[in-house]
Amino acid sequence: MEYLKFNCKMKNKYLKNVITIVMFLLSTTLMFSQAINKPSIMVFPDDIWMNSNGYMKEVDKQGEKKMVPDYSAALLNVELGQVITNVEKLMLERGYPLENLSQTLKSIQDGNALKSMETSEDGNSVQQGDKDLILNTARPHLILYVSWSVESKGPKKAVTFSLKAVDAGSNKPAGAASGTGNELIGASLPVMLETAVLSHIDNFNSQLMIYFEEMFTKGREITVEIQVYENSTKKMNSEINEDGDELSDDIKKWFKSNTVNGAFTLGPKTSTLMQLTSVRIPLRDGEGSAFSVDDFGTKLRKYMKKTHQLPCSTYPTGTGKVVMVIGGKSL
């Protein structure tokens, strides 16, 4: 009898341990999936489609004439609106949060913020194009470029499409899909496009998630450019202690401590310029909130002021680059 009671107790204890382990594994998996979620996406017309359809405009960038996409004009194209809406629908059905190009552009224009040059009170300036302003406002993780063409064979029509996803910060490819749909009679563009894309969408979705999971683990890749204004009391090669460390040396130490796994690459460096590329920053801060390139620049600016008493200004350009200007204003 005692043996049976002991055996029963051991079984109950074993069962409780199994349940505890299973619950722990389930909660850990759930927490991990919630932490990663899915990347936010903004759908843009591909530059090839923009150029082919005459939606480019000439702008003056610091004395140099350049042709850039004219999104305001392109979004008046009914077919483009249909295509963007259709692609957004397909991605939304697969759980991706969306940032809408048209709505973002409208909010910028309503706020009188769409301009090519942002200038600080002290005269420092950082060039920002329309696209930089759009991305800096919406802050998507990934940009999804779409282009298409329709081929007619008598009453039948078929659509050929291309989808290209790139990291909004580094502009690195995150996934791609392309193909030609079946020839259909009397079908609208949205129907033809959806029919063509559906056979490729699951593989495309897998590519995006593989890329984003890697971004979640290794950090988001950005570029930081530090410029030194001519009135600054310290330059990059100024010694800051008795050991002979220069200002640039201390900045490198700060980056090692404030990037994911200390990952960054030192680019060009002079007495008035320092560029750091492949800078890996976390997607979220310590409180779980989204951490942007602007947040990273603000953190660096505050360090420079507190540690070196240097007045600095930071200017995010798009979602993948921040420029910090040392000097040019009083503390």
Buried b (16+ CB within 10 A) or exposed e, 273-289: ebbbbebbbbbeeeeee
Architecture of domain 41-217 in this structure? 3-Layer(aba) Sandwich (3.40)
| 185 Cβ contact list (under 8 Å, min separation 6) | 155, 156, 157
Most confident of the following: 6-20, 33-47, 185-199, 239-253: 239-253
Q: For residue 238, what are its two tokens?
A: 């100024």
Q: Please name which of 276, 330, 315, 321 lies closest in space to residue 117, comparing C-alpha atoms.
A: 315
The pLDDT score that the predictor gives to residue 130 is: 85
Rounded average pLDDT over 313-322: 91
The pLDDT score that the predictor gives to residue 11 is: 53
The pLDDT score that the predictor gives to residue 150 is: 93
The pLDDT score that the predictor gives to residue 2 is: 54
Rounded average pLDDT over 103-130: 65
Phi, psi angle pair for 169, to nearest 5°: -90, -50
Residue 126: how many CB atoms within 10 A of its CB? 21
- Write down the H helix ranges in 58-178: 71-74, 78-92, 101-110, 130-138
Q: Which helix (H) or strand (E) holds 165?
A: strand 156-167
- Rg for the chain (alpha carbons), in Å? 26
Identify the three-state secondary structure at position 144. strand
d(C-alpha 284, C-alpha 35), whole Å = 9
Q: For residue 241, what are its two tokens?
A: 């202690």
Identify the three-state secondary structure at position 89. helix
Q: Please name which of 38, 6, 58 lies closest in space to residue 210, comparing C-alpha atoms.
A: 38
The pLDDT score that the predictor gives to residue 266 is: 96
Give the CA count within 13 Å in the CB-facing half-sphere of 21.
Answer: 6
What are the start and end residues of each CATH 3.40.50 domain in the chain? 41-217
The pLDDT score that the predictor gives to residue 32 is: 38
Rounded average pLDDT over 320-327: 94
The pLDDT score that the predictor gives to residue 102 is: 96
Q: Which residue has the higher pLDDT, 44 or 185?
A: 44
The fraction of the chain above a pLDDT of 70, given in percent, is 83
Query: CA dist 134 to 43, 129, 235, Å?
Result: 12, 9, 33
Q: Are 312 and 305 in contact (CB under 8 A)?
A: yes
Of 125-134, 169-178, 225-234, 244-253, which range is least confident? 125-134
Rounded average pLDDT over 254-280: 97
